[in-house]
Amino acid sequence: MADWTVDVAVIGAGVIGSATAYFNAKAGASVALIDSGDLAEGTSSKSDGNILVCDKLPGFDCVFAKASQDMFQQLSQELEYPIEWRQKGSLFLMETDEEMEIAKKFCDDMVACGIPMRMMDHKEIMDDEPLLADDLPGGLETACDGSLYPIGLCYGLAFQARKLGAQLLLHRAVTSIDRQDGGFVVHTTNGDIAAKNVVNCAGVWAPVIGKMVGLDIPIQARQGQILVSEQTFRVGRRKVHEFGYLMAKFQTDGYTRPVSEAVSRNGVAFVFEPTDSNNFLIGSSRRFAGEDISSDIEVMQAIAERAIRFFPILRDIKVIRAYSGVRPFTPDHMPIVSDTPVPGFYIAAGHEGDGIGLSPITGKMIADMIAGNELLMDISPLSYSRFGLQS
């Protein structure tokens, strides 16, 4: 006899699981949101809070991200927990004329997809952010980009789901899943949950949960590290990052950034994010180091080196701490938001460096799939079947 019986059991209370619980509860389903730890125990509390379309690829990637971004204004009003949503746009910085050329083509392709992007020359970026290094040829502005407090988003979604009747079953690790009577029994370290549907939202741990029902899930941990500055004067007014970030994210062939070996080896690209309390986050790195989330001094130095390159004033500002998280990486950089060959078992995982931004649309899509509603758009590029894996 199960301790709880629900329509939807959501495994993992990070931002993706919390959004999935919220949108399912909003659709009228009975929901259990389960985590081995607390809310935001995993990657969702070790990230930045950027809600970006500028770092997506032209085509489905940016259209999907924009649809999610467009949901945040309403979400910030629906959720009773403060999520600090602000939409000040973002600025990519180009370091060389070659990058200006690549950025121009990228900008044209993104504008063709309906993204409000524009090229800026040297004078415009200096007017925009006067403390930038004086030798940068230009930038690329994306007016619709925003940011928020990611842990607040996670709490806001989970608490609102609870208000709609969802059970928050925290500090219970899922240990096995049985298929039974056209549904599932999810066994945890503290009670069993009978559910018609199960959604695997376990981030980098999704492959472990997948194995419990015989599914191989190709997600790997890709570490990222962030530095946090002391509270200081306003160095930059909005999200600023180097265009080379795109190349570090997608491991672009055919272009090599003029950077040191340590920057290149650790996939470091400059990212600057001011917060409401007037300190700021500086990132970030991308490397495969298992599930290690310790801070590494070489990575910290490489991030600082890159930050000073773009904002020389940062040389005089103190770092008060550093932290790391592991991004759930898939081989084609796209998340899995999908049903599976196991009827009633869904996957919402593998959002790599975009899970905060993609959380609302992911939760909504999974809720619509479970309810049998027509989806907002064709999301076949996110299907589990694209990997050709057998159950």
Rounded Cα–Cα distance for residues 374 and 230 (Å): 48
Token pair in block for residue 214: 């015989």
User: 214 to 243, contacts with ligand FAD by CB under 6 A?
Assistant: 224, 226
| Using rule CB under 6 A, residue 267 touches ligand FAD | no
Q: Residue 9 Cβ, how far from ligand FAD at the closest point, in Å?
A: 10
DSSP 10-77: EE--SHHHHHHHHHHHHTT--EEEE-SSSTT-SGGGSS--EE-STTSPTTHHHHHHHHHHTTHHHHHH
| Using rule CB under 6 A, residue 248 touches ligand FAD | no
Q: Which segment (43-51, 55-63, 135-143, 251-259) binds ligand FAD by CB under 6 A?
A: 43-51
| Using rule CB under 6 A, residue 360 touches ligand FAD | no
Question: Which residue from 247, 337, 356, 370 is in contact with ligand FAD, where contact means CB under 6 A?
Answer: 356
Q: How far is CA 331 from CA 59, 220, 291, in A?
A: 18, 9, 17
Strands, DSSP E only, in 69-169?
90-94, 117-121, 138-142, 146-147, 167-169
Question: Which residue from 36, 197, 266, 340 is in contact with ligand FAD, where contact means CB under 6 A?
Answer: 36
User: 176 to 205, contacts with ligand FAD by CB under 6 A?
Assistant: 201-203, 205
Rounded Cα–Cα distance for residues 160 and 18 (Å): 9
List all residues 6 or more positions away from 251 whose beta carbon is below 8 Å from its beta carbon.
none
Question: Which residue from 6, 49, 90, 168 is in contact with ligand FAD, where contact means CB under 6 A?
Answer: 49
User: 271 to 300, contacts with ligand FAD by CB under 6 A?
Assistant: 283-284
Contact 367, 27 (CB under 8 A): yes
Q: Which residue lies nearer to ligand FAD by CB, 251 or 390?
A: 251
Strands, DSSP E only, in 203-260?
220-229, 239-242
| Using rule CB under 6 A, residue 244 touches ligand FAD | no
Question: Which residue from 6, 8, 10, 15 is in contact with ligand FAD, where contact means CB under 6 A?
Answer: 15
| Using rule CB under 6 A, residue 138 touches ligand FAD | no
Question: Which residue from 2, 3, 4, 37 is in contact with ligand FAD, where contact means CB under 6 A?
Answer: 37
Q: Residue 288 Cβ, how far from ligand FAD at the closest point, in Å?
A: 13
Count CB atoms within 10 A of the CB of residue 56: 24
Count CB atoms within 10 A of the CB of residue 318: 11
Q: Residue 390 Cβ, how far from ligand FAD at the closest point, in Å?
A: 23
- CA-nearest of 299, 329, 302, 294 to 222 is 329
| Using rule CB under 6 A, residue 66 touches ligand FAD | no
Q: Which segment (12-20, 177-185, 337-345, 378-386) binds ligand FAD by CB under 6 A?
A: 12-20
> Which residue ranges make up the site for ligand FAD (CB under 6 A)?
11-17, 34-37, 41-44, 46-50, 173-174, 201-203, 205, 224, 226, 283-284, 325, 327-328, 349, 351-357
